[in-house]
Amino acid sequence: MSIREKLDISAYLVVGPENTKGRPVEKIIEDAVEAGFTCVQIRSKVASARELIELTRKAADVIARLGKSEEVALLVDDRLDVVLAARKQGVKVDGIHVGQSDIPVEVCREYLGEDSVVGLSARTHEMLEYIKTADVSQIDYFGVGPVHETATKPDCGLDINGKVITRSFEEISELVRLSKKPVVVGGGVKLRDIPPLARTGAAGFFVVSAVSEADDPKQAAMELVNAWKLNVRADK
């Protein structure tokens, strides 16, 4: 069974060198995976292609050393070239996450194959209509948000007028209900947001700074994972 078929996005870490307070990216990933995170996305808008390939290699090595290569999906944000180059060098990369303005999902699927994971950020304006009407046959999940405005990704949630639109838990519940694919939610998510977020029916949460910029990333990751599991169980 491919990792795509058993994809778990319940605890999803997005991380890059600009978000770790100078600490090694691979150490943040190690802490998160040991704490129970189930998906890792390498994202950087400042790293070169070669640097991203090396970051991806180190991430894959950490996940393999922890014995989680067949359980924890490793994705790269936006950069199809990085995924392909890393794979060419023998790195186990499970897929890609893109937005509407990035490489089309059908192109990602064509180049990466049927066993790969392809995630898509749902557009902010007219999001409900998009989720209801879009052809989602080539993707595996939607990433939506933000829950709060976030300095990590200040362009997250921008509408056509450049205004940040945050998502209420009621709106997220509606998105989840209408979506044909699993939905992972993030954007400024903190520990206090996990209980109401778990009750929306979302498949998971994604975070950046809540783990990667925490004083104790492993402890922060454990608290998020435990809160999610507790509240998902309580809602069933």
**Residue 178 maps to a domain:** yes
Say whether pLDDT at 168 is over 70. yes
Query: By residue range, what is the domain housing residue 22?
Result: 11-234
Q: What is the mean pLDDT of residues 198-221?
A: 97
Is residue 6 domain-resident? no
Q: How many CB atoms lie within 10 A of CB 202?
A: 25
Task: Return d(Cα 208, Cα 129) in angstroms, integer.
Answer: 27
Give how far Cα 131 sits from Cα of 18, 107, 127, Å.
Answer: 31, 20, 6
Is 186 a residue whose pLDDT tops 60?
yes
Element (H, E) at 117: strand 117-121
Number of structural domains (the chain) is: 1
From the list 104, 102, 42, 101, the residue with the least C-alpha distance to 73 is 42
Whether residue 1 is contained in a domain is answered as no
- Kindly tell me if the per-residue pLDDT of 161 is higher than 60: no
**Per the domain annotation, does 50 fall within a domain?**
yes
Q: Give pLDDT, residue 140.
A: 97
pTM greater than 0.85 (yes/no): yes
Helices then strands, counting H and E runs in the chain, come out as: 9, 8
Residue 157 has pLDDT above 70, yes or no: no
Residue 60: pLDDT over 70: yes
Which CATH number covers residue 179?
3.20.20.70
